Structure 1
Amino acid sequence: MSSLLPSLYISHGSPMTALQPGLVGPRLAELAAGLERPRAIVMASAHWLGRAPLVSAAAQPQTIHDFGGFPEALYQLQYPAPGAPELAQDVAQRLAAAGLQPSIDPQRGLDHGAWVPLRYLYPEADIPVLQVSIQPSLGPRHQFAMGRALASLREQGVLLVGSGSITHNLHDWHHYEAGKEAPYVRPFIQWVEEKLQADDLPAMFDYRQQAPFAAQAHPTDEHLLPLYFAMGAAGSDQLGAQRIDAGIDMGFLAMDIYRFDGAAR
């Protein structure tokens, strides 16, 4: 009897994670080794934003190098996974049935929020992948609803993943490289872990008001919103949250990974 796949939230960090895996690379490899092989992957990335849900349906998604000023070696990396056009139609139908008004993008490739962590989860790039967009203007509850609308796909062998960063303040780039940490990082990630493990959804939805240092940890929401997608994809208000510590990159990017097994934990 097959086991139910969890939903995942991954902090993908800087694009340089693709060349310098730090702790997150081994953690993702270990995580994947303990899961049944998915038949397909649906990723909600912080790097695809829209006003309404978009679903990618390219048959062979291009690897998008959506960044600048990095070493040339980074731009040579490819993640040639196949797309999942038929699954994209199913995803769009499920989102539409939930009243979320999706559209299909037939050409969208994989941005670095998708392909960087996938290089460590499934390095052979042989599992079909599609992306869904994030809608920052619609807030956490909307992203949770997107994940909840797709949660039953986990029963069909589809891995649902949100990719962002548990803390993300690019104003602090290069400020903490000498072994120091931004003072807001640990209080924020500890608060998130406490609320997730307590299944405190109201507090999580209101993180801007309730979490310590919320504005410093996330000047804008887009890198935390994929967490709510993964929470919704747990399929139950009993999240079954498990935190996987993958360190703190550059002193300000917490690399936490979460798996959500839902009530079936």
Structure 2
Amino acid sequence: MTRLPTLFLSHGSPMLAIDDSPARRFLQNLGKQLPRPRAILVASAHWETMGGPAVGLTAQPQTIHDFGGFPAALYALQYPAPGAPEVAARAAELLKQAGWTVGGSETRGLDHGAWVPLRLMYPEADIPVAQVSVVRGVGPDGHEKLGRALAGLREEGVLVIGSGSLTHNLYEFRGQGIDAPVPAWVSEFGDWMLAALSDGRREALLDYRKQAPHAARNHPTEEHLLPLFVALGAAGENAQAQRLHSSHEYGVLAMDVYAFS
């Protein structure tokens, strides 16, 4: 069985599901460029738990429209992929072996951090999908260790995806257009992340809050960057990062996609 890379996807605004953009077009082609996984496990910024990670165990996950104030067409979209309860249970087992206290949900569906990019990558919705949460109050180091516990899934045909956003400060959104100019505080943070990831500076990355320029301005809270560290950890000890895509939406959302192998 082919060993799969891990991915970090910037899912941006829910409007990625319907509005044309470079990031949308890239994701529409990405699934065709990867070996076909037997299942997908997504660590999404939009599922946070306390005390430890949780996994989604439902066999038929619903499409969660976990956002408000968007056009009706967005709420009509569905992503009826089957669940992957066996993969979720395997992930829970690996996490427990690594010392985590792990919860589970028999009812949770797929939030938009999962279904929006997957609907573009795999529109047939024929690959089983499960989710694992990020843990509130646990930083990059903890999420890298969480990912490392899941690394064995790559040998089992499971595509591990961290879905968040390379930059995510919605307080800076002022109604600007999707192609608005990119402020320096956004581009400088993205440039630092690219250099640190490309050079394998893991310690600097784990300390990005202090070392990266404008870190707190780009991430007033960390949940949208933590999935990157899950993907990094799940790629293993000597993971090599490759930026597959870079663009910006609304000026303040960096839509970078990284692969780790």
TM interval, short-chain normalised: over 0.9
Identity of aligned residues (%): 53
Cα distance in structure 1, aligned partners of 2:28 and 2:4: 16
Write out aligned runs for 1:78-117 (5 A): 78-117=78-117
Cα distance in structure 1, aligned partners of 2:194 and 2:136: 22
Residues 1:186 and 2:187 aligned together = yes
Give the TM-score normalised by the residue count of structure 2. Answer: 0.96
CA contact (8 A) 1:41 1:160 kept: yes
Aligned to 1:46: 45
The one-letter code matched in structure 1 to 2:209 is R
Cα distance in structure 1, aligned partners of 2:101 and 2:180: 46
Write out aligned runs for 1:1-265 (5 A): 2-51=1-50, 52-174=52-174, 176-177=176-177, 179-236=180-237, 238-261=238-261
Cα distance in structure 2, aligned partners of 1:155 and 1:172: 41
Cα distance in structure 2, aligned partners of 1:62 and 1:249: 28
Return the offset for 1:175.
5.4
Return the offset for 1:120.
1.1
Cα distance in structure 2, aligned partners of 1:167 and 1:193: 13
Cα distance in structure 2, aligned partners of 1:133 and 1:174: 30
Give the TM-score normalised by the residue count of structure 1. Answer: 0.95
Deviations 1:52-78 (A, max 9, x none): 101000010000000000000000000
Cα distance in structure 2, aligned partners of 1:190 and 1:176: 23
Cα distance in structure 1, aligned partners of 2:234 and 2:260: 8
CA contact (8 A) 1:176 1:252 kept: no
Cα RMSD of the aligned pairs, angstroms, is 1.2
The one-letter code matched in structure 1 to 2:183 is A
Cα distance in structure 1, aligned partners of 2:118 and 2:20: 12
Cα distance in structure 2, aligned partners of 1:175 and 1:183: 18
Return the offset for 1:25.
2.0
The one-letter code matched in structure 1 to 2:162 is G
Cα distance in structure 2, aligned partners of 1:184 and 1:22: 22
Q: Partner of 1:138: helix, strand, or coil?
A: coil
Q: Partner of 1:80: helix, strand, or coil?
A: coil
Q: Partner of 1:230: helix, strand, or coil?
A: helix
Report how many residues are paired: 259
The one-letter code matched in structure 2 to 1:181 is V
Return the offset for 1:29.
2.8
Q: Partner of 2:126: helix, strand, or coil?
A: coil
Deviations 1:157-179 (A, max 9, x none): 10000000000000111254373
The one-letter code matched in structure 2 to 1:205 is L
Cα distance in structure 1, aligned partners of 2:92 and 2:183: 40
The one-letter code matched in structure 1 to 2:217 is Q
Q: Partner of 1:55: helix, strand, or coil?
A: strand
Return the offset for 1:28.
1.8
Q: Partner of 2:139: helix, strand, or coil?
A: helix
